């Protein structure tokens, strides 16, 4: 009954800035968690700004704080704790954060993330959480893209071989594709990519919201990348086939065999896929440069090295770059055309998006790039404060509440003064 009364009180409160706090202790919690009361208790609790449960047992921590909230509201829950009694809660929550320190290492061992001080939670979420979300989303989408672009070209070729299973590429090319030629750039993307720097992440917590709103890993994006892969595979395959068709490809009159066409097609894929990741990344350290341009250089070096191995090993790829393809202008022309044609749609898309519908981190990147935060400190501070979501608890909320109180008092005084001064 107390719960129903409290519920009514919360509902009736008209002031949007009023904040309610619910305080409950362990003994009462046992009753509140019974099946008939559970849901009412939960709906009351989520309407409050903060809920304080004291003297709860470890089991109740897991039951209440996590299982009830997790299943009742369907939201992602995070639990943070430092003692052995928090282990149940940490494991039950979707994300468990353990604090290593005074009370021992049990919480750390049971948790997904461990930090050394409670105040680091802000940095964990707002900086690393934001970065990791972006990195993982981009990495997965890019992986789909590059393997679709590569695999489908092999598939198209089958239609031209009577579906006999002959691959247009040499076995070594296919082995190396995912191992060394295209894997290192995407690893560097996943480890080092930062859309905005850590200071900006901390100053603009609203950027973190891009994660919960799932802006970067929704189905549109996934299918968009797959479509990009499909388009790239079609362009690369048909351009290579039609350019090297059946006529001579050198001034000396030789025609292209399967090794020449396969090598040229593979060169186009390596260039396209690596140029695509350059367009995706926004943060280039020396590592990214090394991996991306190094991967492309590795491909050419491999061709030369493989070509120098005895023909018993390299077969028809013997000296293919140095003798057949290297001196042929058509090979380099085909690579240039295929690479740029495949990357054009993506370039158009991002140019369009940045022009008409820029996302928050685009605007902030521009502000930082043009140093407008330095020139116009006032604007920067203002945007920073706007970026903080209105909350009902915490230091800023108390300050705001005090300000509102003072304002109300001032208004009353002004209105009473004006009544007095009216003739």
Partner 1 sequence: MNPRGDSTSGSDGAPEPRRKSKKPKYSRFTQQELPACKPLLTPAIVVTTFAFIGIIFIPIGLLSLSASEQVVEIVYQYDTDCIPEQLQNDKVAFIQSSKTNKTCTRTLTVPKNMEGPVHIYYELDNFYQNHRRYVKSRSDKQLRSKASETVTTNCAPEATTSDGSVIVPCGLIAWSLFNDTYSFAVNSKIIEVNKKNIAWQSDKEHKFGSDVYPKNFQMGGLIGGAKLNASIPLSEQEDLIVWMRTAALPRFRKLYGRIETNLAANEQITVTIQNNYNTYSFEGKKNLVLSTTSWIGGKNDFLGTAYLTVGSLCLFLAIGFIILYLLKPRTLGDPSYLSWNRNPDGHY
Task: Select 68 or 260, whichever has its Cβ closest to partner 1.
Answer: 260
Which residues in 48-207 belong to E strands, given as ranges?
50-54, 78-81, 95-99, 113-115
Specify whether the CB–CB gap between 203 and 383 falls below 8 A. no
Task: Select 1 or 390, whichever has its Cβ closest to partner 1.
Answer: 390
Task: Select 106 or 240, whichever has its Cβ closest to partner 1.
Answer: 240
Please give the residues from 179 up to 198 whose contact with partner 1 meets the rule CB under 8 A.
192, 194, 198
How far is Cα 314 from Cα 323, in angstroms, rounded to an integer? 14
Q: How far is the CB of 3 from partner 1 (least distance, A)?
A: 29
Question: Exposed (0-12), middle (13-18) or buried (19+): which is 291, by Cβ within 10 Å?
Answer: buried
How far is Cα 172 from Cα 58, in angstroms, rounded to an integer? 57
Task: Tell me, by CB under 8 A, how many residues bind partner 1.
Answer: 93
Of 1-9, 55-63, 155-163, 294-302, the segment contacting partner 1 by CB under 8 A is 155-163
Specify whether the CB–CB gap between 204 and 387 falls below 8 A. yes
How far is Cα 11 from Cα 202, in angstroms, rounded to an integer? 34
Under rule CB under 8 A, residue 367 binds partner 1:
yes
Q: How far is the CB of 392 from partner 1 (least distance, A)?
A: 14
Q: List the one residue from 17, 30, 166, 396 that touches partner 1 (CB under 8 A).
A: 166
Under rule CB under 8 A, residue 120 binds partner 1:
yes
How far is Cα 232 from Cα 229, in angstroms, rounded to an integer? 5
Whether 316 has a binding-site annotation, put simply, is no
Under rule CB under 8 A, residue 165 binds partner 1:
yes
Of 11-19, 180-188, 297-305, 309-317, the segment contacting partner 1 by CB under 8 A is 309-317
Q: How far is the CB of 27 from partner 1 (least distance, A)?
A: 38
Q: List the one residue from 4, 255, 396, 415 that touches partner 1 (CB under 8 A).
A: 255
Whether 86 has a binding-site annotation, put simply, is yes
Specify whether the CB–CB gap between 262 and 169 falls below 8 A. yes
How far is Cα 203 from Cα 254, in angstroms, rounded to an integer? 64
Q: Which parts are annotated binding residues for Mg(2+)?
A: 82, 86
């Amino acid at each position: 009954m107390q719960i129903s009364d409290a519920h009514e009180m919360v509902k009736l409160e008209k002031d949007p800035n009023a904040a309610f706090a619910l305080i409950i202790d362990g003994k009462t919690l046992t009753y509140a968690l019974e099946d008939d009361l559970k849901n009412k208790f939960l709906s009351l609790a989520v309407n409050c700004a903060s809920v304080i449960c004291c003297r709860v047992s470890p089991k109740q921590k897991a039951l209440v704080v996590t299982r009830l909230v997790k299943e009742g509201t369907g939201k992602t829950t995070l639990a943070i704790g430092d003692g052995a009694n928090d282990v149940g809660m940490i494991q039950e929550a979707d994300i468990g954060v353990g604090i290593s320190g005074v009370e021992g290492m049990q919480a750390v061992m049971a948790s997904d993330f461990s930090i050394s001080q409670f105040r680091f939670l802000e940095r964990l979420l707002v900086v690393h959480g934001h970065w990791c979300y972006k990195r993982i989303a981009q990495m997965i989408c890019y992986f789909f893209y590059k393997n679709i672009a590569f695999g489908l070209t092999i598939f198209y070729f089958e239609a031209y071989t009577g579906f006999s299973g002959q691959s247009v590429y040499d076995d070594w090319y296919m082995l190396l594709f995912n191992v060394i030629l295209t894997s290192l750039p995407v690893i560097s993307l996943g480890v080092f990519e930062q859309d905005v720097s850590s200071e900006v992440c901390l100053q603009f917590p609203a950027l973190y919201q891009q994660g919960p709103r799932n802006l970067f890993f929704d189905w549109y994006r996934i299918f968009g990348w797959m479509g990009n892969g499909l388009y790239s595979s079609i362009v690369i395959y048909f351009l290579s086939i039609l350019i090297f068709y059946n006529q001579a490809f050198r001034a000396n009159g030789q025609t292209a065999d399967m090794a020449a066409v396969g090598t040229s097609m593979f060169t186009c894929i390596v260039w396209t896929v690596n140029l695509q990741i350059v367009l995706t990344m926004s943060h280039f350290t020396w590592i990214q440069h090394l991996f991306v341009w190094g991967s492309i250089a590795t491909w050419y070096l491999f061709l030369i090295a493989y070509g120098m191995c005895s023909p018993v090993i390299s077969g028809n790829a013997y000296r293919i770059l140095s003798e057949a393809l290297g001196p042929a202008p058509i090979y380099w022309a085909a690579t240039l055309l295929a690479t740029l044609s495949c990357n054009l749609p993506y370039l158009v898309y991002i140019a369009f998006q940045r022009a008409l519908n820029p996302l928050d981190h685009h605007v902030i990147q521009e502000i930082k790039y043009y140093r407008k935060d330095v020139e116009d400190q006032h604007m920067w501070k203002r945007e920073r404060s706007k970026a903080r979501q209105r909350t009902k608890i915490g230091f800023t909320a108390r300050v705001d509440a005090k300000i509102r109180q003072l304002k109300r008092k001032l208004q009353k005084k002004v209105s009473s003064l004006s009544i007095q001064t009216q003739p």
